[in-house]
Amino acid sequence: MSYSTFLGNPPDRVANIRRKYQEEGYQEGLSAGKRRGFEEGYMLGGEEGVKLGRELGQIAGRLFQLLSQNPPENTARKISRTLQEILAVSFANQEDLEKEVRISRIRGAYKELSTILNVSMPKSVVSDKAKFDF
């Protein structure tokens, strides 16, 4: 049995092995890149979610406090509507624009109520035109 019969054509065999490992390496690199991108996005999204959750929690807490002080009826209704909107927040299936609009409405209502009732706002409540990156 000759060498070429046993191994086939060595250059072709080497080329096939090279292609196989290149493809496997490419697929592994692609998978690793996807995992890393997902993990980084997940972490960034988590951080942004915590910040937003904290802000909405502060606003809700202050609104509950204001509501407990028996404000005028029209103010109490506005506080209740704003609280209902905060408690109904679910961003899982909303587009970014919807999120921005909803948060802007909540912030705007809280700012208006704070002005009417002469109370301070949490530092985390920024301009109602704020841009969100989530």
Residue 68 lies in a domain: yes
Residue 27 lies in a domain: yes
Q: Highest mean pLDDT: which of 1-5, 64-68, 87-91?
A: 64-68
- Please count the structural domains in the chain: 1
pTM comes to: 0.57
Residue 71 lies in a domain: yes
Residue 7: the pLDDT is: 55
For the segment 114-123, what is each residue's pLDDT rounded down to a tens digit? 888 777 665 5
Residue 133 lies in a domain: no
Domain that holds residue 111: 9-117
For the segment 55-88, what is each residue's pLDDT rounded down to a tens digit? 888 888 888 888 888 888 998 999 998 888 888 7
pLDDT at 89 over 60: yes
pLDDT at 131 over 80: no
Residue 132: the pLDDT is: 39
Residue 122 lies in a domain: no
Residue 80 lies in a domain: yes
**CB neighbours (10 Å) of residue 133?**
7
For the segment 12-71, what is each residue's pLDDT rounded down to a tens digit? 777 888 888 888 888 888 888 888 888 888 788 788 888 888 888 888 888 888 888 888
Residue 86 lies in a domain: yes
Residue 128 lies in a domain: no
